[in-house]
């Protein structure tokens, strides 16, 4: 364990306002994720079976969600696991092999209340989010929001957003 003195960007998974992040911070995040992707490991963050099951349970459909490119990533990349103004990535218990675009998809989904930030994430990680595997990653993240709300018995704006976007992604992937 290492003590990190920088404050987290958010104390909640979902942002309510845009953080003040410099271009250098974004570049450091990209560099950190690229370095992580070059790591050699057998550790698995997410399996194809988990993806298929979550999407089927959340949306009641079974579509082809086979991932073609698996990469090494953080696995739980959201605003409560990032610090600023100096970048640190926290909470490493989910790192490992995952579909391309999953880390970006988690940042994207957890910023949905801040459209300008969502757009920035979409632009910065366009190759990862726009490809088929990136769409599957975004669909899986949405499915998890829907399933989590169902388990808790509470629907909120995040659940409604995840359901709406998930249905749109299903249509794109079908």
Task: Give me the residue spans of the domains in the chain.
Answer: 23-173
Return the CATH class of domain 23-173.
alpha beta
Structure tokens at 102: 């999953």
pTM of the full structure:
0.93
pLDDT tens per residue across all 174 residues of the chain: 677 889 999 999 889 999 999 999 999 999 999 999 999 999 999 999 999 999 999 999 889 999 999 999 999 999 999 999 999 999 999 999 999 999 999 999 999 999 999 999 999 999 999 999 999 999 999 999 999 999 999 988 989 999 999 999 999 999
Burial class (CB in 10 A: 0-12, 13-18, 19+), 108: buried
Residue 126: beta bridge partners? none
Q: Is the dihedral of CA 81, 33, 109, 20 positive or negative?
A: positive
Q: What residues contact 97, with CB distance under 8 A and at least 6 apart?
A: 41, 42, 43, 44, 45, 46, 70, 71, 72
Alpha helices in the chain, H assignment, sequence order: 23-37, 48-59, 102-110, 115-124, 126-130, 132-152, 157-173
| Beta carbons within 10 angstroms of residue 104's beta carbon | 24
Query: Using CA atoms, how far apart are residues 4 and 68, in angstroms rounded to an integer?
Result: 36
């Amino acid at each position: 364990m290492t003590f990190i003195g920088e404050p987290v960007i958010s104390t909640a998974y979902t942002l309510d306002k845009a953080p003040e992040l410099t271009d250098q911070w974004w570049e450091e995040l990209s560099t950190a994720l690229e370095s992580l992707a070059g790591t050699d490991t057998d550790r698995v963050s997410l399996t194809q079976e988990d993806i298929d099951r979550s999407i089927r349970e959340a949306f009641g459909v079974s579509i082809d969600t086979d991932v073609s490119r698996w990469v090494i990533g953080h696995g739980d990349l959201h605003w409560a696991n990032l610090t600023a103004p100096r970048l640190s990535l926290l909470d490493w218990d989910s790192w490992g092999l995952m579909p391309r675009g999953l880390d970006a998809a988690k940042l994207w989904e957890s910023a949905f209340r801040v459209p300008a930030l969502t757009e920035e994430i979409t632009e910065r990680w366009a190759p990862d989010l726009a490809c088929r595997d990136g769409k599957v990653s975004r669909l899986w993240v949405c499915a998890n929001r829907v399933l989590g709300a169902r388990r808790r018995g509470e629907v909120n704006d995040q659940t409604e957003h995840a359901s709406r976007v998930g249905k749109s992604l299903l249509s794109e992937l079908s």
